[in-house]
Structure 1
């Protein structure tokens, strides 16, 4: 008597208004009823085992809360069979679909897809399922192309795609934007404040303090202000294709991660622009002036992509937001409240914290607390000046970093057309050879160090690891970060100092 779960999904608002979800569920219920008659064994379908994701695209499983609940219940053996109308309703990415199939099968769950007549108990599961999911992904990609082509044609005609931006309303008949008399004055005020010397943070603070909100009722943020100031819709133009989705290079912590991010399109020829498609809210002179000011005020964002010891939710502000890294004009690192960066000091007035100071303090605290738990003498794991071999390794790494930065700068100059290919090739070859030599030297030095520091005593090895990693002058930032993530739940910034919550039990 198998217990049956049902998964159903719709991917946009238009489907939500119909009976798509109800149709999928009733269809699966009917199949379960027929299977009961055919096998003479009742298939039990419980309402609590119906999983519905509404209004979420089919290309990502990570964002679907019901899929995560489905997996949790499968691990707890709450059902024996999971059914869905078609693989395209379950996953349109072949890799995601195969991972989910393997996960469910590992939990002892039978997988049934009705449209494809797939049954993991009967078919050559992975092979057949992969073929069907690949076809579903291909159909999803074809649909995306058709939608994009339709949107491009609408943009050429001056029609608007998607919801109307703040300051406009969308005419449902003409599909063109019309000025919203309620919110257009706010847009004019934003441009007026900015061109008269106020920055985006100050503009957002002024609007929020005056009780003004976005059309959707949210507080104004720096990002929202910046997007308005750079959006040509406010001078009457329709621009389509200014941004695109690209795969993000995976981090060293998760080489198999497949994340996408939205970036500005570098090829401006791909952008569709229809000028004077609707009434403007601001004149072009004001818009151009704001663009010039924004270009002047844009500062170097710092070492983008560098790993930080306490970022990504490890260090929390007293308001509950994460602390993120910020660089001043001299390149000094600070941690600041992420919500403050978005909403201004009116939301959170937490002062900036110098990154080097707080990282050194946290590492000292952690080292002392871990030593107490392991009953080590604190002086046994205090940081000691590195040996000559460590100094040599650090020197090689510094040279390697400089060579890599110079190589990257050379490539950027070549990509921007500042140097020719004839100039680029020999210079790039020299950099490649230099990098190769330095990496070989680093590996040789590491082998020597490993031979010198080989230890049979686990306790001494543990002390040595803590001595080298739980310190501001850590020999490997990536490993230190991973170690902190395993030891620390959160570090909370309070009015009295820092509160560390550990994942291990303190005595």
Structure 2
């Protein structure tokens, strides 16, 4: 029996999983903080949140402090507007975080759809979000129902706040109270005491000149070209465009009136502004301030504008359709001057008219400043664009898929570590500022010394934030390119390589710009950052 036992051969199967050390078994925890205002009291709240969660996470022996993700002075209505929030989500997807702690649902997201979407995405990969105020851990079974209800409440609170602000603004407008930024239009300054519009006599001369030229029969493009030739800049130090002149001659402020609520918030989720086309009331104040243009001349200008538009058959709907009727509109850029190429008909009225794309600056500049870029035939650039799209489809596995893999790995962790290091340095500066404030409060620092040292720390804080932002921008450029690559691959697969003609939606989804240097040097810049050099065949 003993011989049988001794003769048995035992094979040891080594463990395939390493025993976790105490450090490795800890939950990797981070916090997300946000304030939606840049007012000083809100930024103090922001600083308090950062300090609180740094100490809170480090005090738990079962947690490993990953870092603080913080968006300062940024609206919470949309997650895409918050760079650190998007960085947090990406780090979770990369397996760098196990638990996210945040103050409340309203700090995390005020949009129910965003909140539920993010929580579900993180929950699917085993990552929980703990909302401290509501005491909700999203990994618990009942969390989603409670979270849905509470986030809906947060969203409704935001909508209610937006309506209250709108009501307050409309009440002020109805009382004739408003604020105007005069640096956005020529001719006026604001009296610092009375807060009323006063004429800037030097700028008013140019306003009068523009109205005189317009009423004499000159078109807006002609006036703009002449001002550019004279080297006269706009109020924003830019070159004049016909559209700029058109807005000026329609601006009621030049005849002494004010129209309020020209634009409104489209919805309370995205907070995008749009023209008020009758959805909300407008408020018109006649003779609010001293006019630059007489009311008679202003009304003549409005009548002339309407007559010219109707003579061309340019109603608002027609103008909008014309702007978007060609797939390559606003896509083709002049490689010589950087202006957009516009679609024109050459040899119009002859036996052999030809559609081409021509540099728009040629219509605005003359003489020595005239752009030297040539035109390109519409059929040539259209055929080339179709060829490029087909090439992309048939090179999915050789170009776009490897590029996507590269984006997923390119210095991602390195950049994240550097951002985390800046976060740590920022926390250290905040701690130093608190110590300094305590010393000052106890009388251990003179006001002069406190101010000097506090200013020094503030400058250091600003510099650290700038450096962090540079890295964050680079990081999110990679993320945006990755998302755009996914979309491009999906759209190309939908075509199955069959692209008989250009489709505007397909072009918009894949191509950012087409830079034309010459017929033999055309660069297609894709939405995901890839640049493809091409040329038009003979």
TM range (shorter): 0.5 to 0.7
SS of residue paired to 1:278 = coil
Q: How does 1:228-267 map to 2 (within 5 A)?
A: 228-246=248-266, 262-266=274-278
Q: Secondary structure at the match of 1:62?
A: helix
CA distance in structure 1 between the partners assigned to 2:357 and 2:27 by the alignment: 54
DSSP 3-state at the match of 2:274? strand
Cα distance change of structure 1 residues 4 and 220 upon mapping to structure 2, 3 Å threshold: farther
Map of 1:414 onto structure 2: none
Alignment pair present for 1:89 and 2:101: no
Tell me which residue corresponds to 2:142. 124
The question of whether the paired residues in 1 share the 8 Å contact of 2:256 and 2:290 is answered with: yes
Alignment correspondent of 1:293: 304
**Cα offsets for 1:216-260 (capped at 9, x unmatched):** 44444444433332221222222122333447xxxxxxxxx9895
Q: Judging changes above 3 Å, is the alpha-carbon distance between structure 1 residues 23 and 368 closer, same or farther for their aligned structure 2 residues?
A: closer
With the length of structure 2 as denominator, give the TM-score of the two structures: 0.59
SS at match of 2:254: helix
- Equivalents in 2 of 1:332, 1:144: separation in Å? 53
- Structure 1 residue 147: Cα displacement: 1.9
Aligned residues: 391
d(CA) in 2 for partners of 1:348 and 1:284? 40
Match for residue 482 of structure 1? 506
The whole-number CA distance in structure 1 between the counterparts of 2:51 and 2:391 is 60
State the match for 2:69 in structure 1: 50
User: How far did 1:80 drift?
Assistant: 3.5
Gaps of 5+ in 2: 1-25, 398-492, 534-538
CA contact (8 A) 2:252 2:259 kept: yes
2:61 pairs, out of 40, 64, 67, with 40
Aligned to 1:318: 335
Cα shift readout 1:387-430 (whole Å, capped 9, x = no counterpart): xxxxxxxxxxxxxxxxxxxxxxxxxxxxxxxxxxxxxxxxxxxx
Would you say the 8 A contact 2:344–2:356 is kept in 1?
A: yes
Q: Does 1:491 align with 2:509?
A: no
Structure 1: gaps of 5 or more residues: 248-256, 375-461
State the partner residue of 1:169: 189
Please tell me whether residue 199 in structure 1 is matched to residue 219 in structure 2. Answer: yes
Separation (CA, whole Å) in 2 of partners of 1:370 and 1:42: 47
Q: State which of 272, 282, 286 in structure 1 corresponds to 2:283.
A: 272
TM-score (norm 1): 0.62
How far apart are residue 273 of structure 1 and its match?
A: 0.7
C-alpha separation between the residues in 2 aligned to 1:207 and 1:498?
A: 33
**SS of the residue 2:80 aligns to:** coil
Matches within 5 A, 1:415-426: none
1:111 match: secondary structure? strand
Using a 3 Å threshold, how does the CA distance of structure 1 residues 193 and 134 change in structure 2: closer, same or farther? farther
Cα contact 1:171–1:178 (8 A) shared by 2: yes
2:128 is aligned, of 70, 94, 110, to: 110
Q: For residue 42 of structure 2, what is the aligned residue in structure 1?
A: 20
8 Å Cα contact 2:71/2:82 also seen in 1: no
- Classify the secondary structure of the residue corresponding to 2:304: helix
* Corresponding residue for residue 477 of structure 2: none
Secondary structure of the structure 2 residue equivalent to 1:270: coil
User: Partners of 1:341 and 1:134 in 2: how far apart?
Assistant: 54
Report the Cα distance in structure 2 between the residues aligned to 1:373 and 1:109, rounded to whole angstroms. 33
Contact kept in structure 2, 1:236 and 1:276, CA below 8 Å: yes
**Does residue 68 of the first structure (1) align with residue 92 of the second (2)?**
no
Matches within 5 A, 1:332-343: 335=357, 340=361
Q: 2:123–2:139: 8 Å Cα contact kept in structure 1?
A: no
The offset of 1:95, in angstroms, is: 1.9
